[in-house]
């Protein structure tokens, strides 16, 4: 069995499998690696939106440009609407997560809105 690709604390994008199109999707944080299930490593992950934890297969996870696009859009949305002048990087998880949720929703929309 191959070693785990992700480590605790890493941010990943979860996509449901072809057999579970209604499953959760979005940005999750790796809580810890778990033993493999057959040929696929498993992880306990935590949603960055609602904090719900679940067990997923490594094949459902990705760490790619989509995460960077979501983060960049969230930062742009935040900066366009925030009058306090507090930089995005200095905002806490609670504030950032709300903007990441909005950006994820916007990028997942068929029309992009």
pLDDT tens, the chain, 113 aa long: 689 999 998 888 887 766 666 677 777 889 999 999 888 999 999 987 778 899 999 988 887 777 777 877 888 898 889 888 888 777 777 888 888 888 888 887 765 45
- Write down the residue that tokens 């990441």 correspond to: 100
Burial zone of 35 (CB within 10 Å; 0-12 exposed, 13-18 middle, 19+ buried): exposed
Q: Name beta bridge partners: 33.
A: 43
Residue 10 is predicted with a pLDDT of: 87
What sign does the dihedral 105-110-112-113 (CA atoms) show? negative
């Amino acid at each position: 069995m191959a070693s785990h690709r992700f480590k605790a604390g890493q941010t990943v994008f979860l996509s449901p499998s072809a057999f579970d199109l209604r499953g959760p999707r979005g940005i999750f944080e790796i809580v810890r690696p778990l033993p493999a299930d057959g040929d696929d490593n498993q992880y306990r992950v935590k949603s960055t939106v609602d904090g719900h934890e679940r067990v997923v297969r490594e094949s459902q996870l990705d760490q790619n440009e989509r995460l960077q696009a979501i983060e960049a859009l969230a930062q742009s949305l935040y900066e366009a609407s925030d009058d306090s002048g507090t930089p995005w990087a200095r905002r806490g998880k609670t504030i950032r997560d709300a903007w990441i949720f909005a950006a994820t929703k916007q990028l997942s929309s068929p029309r992009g809105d």
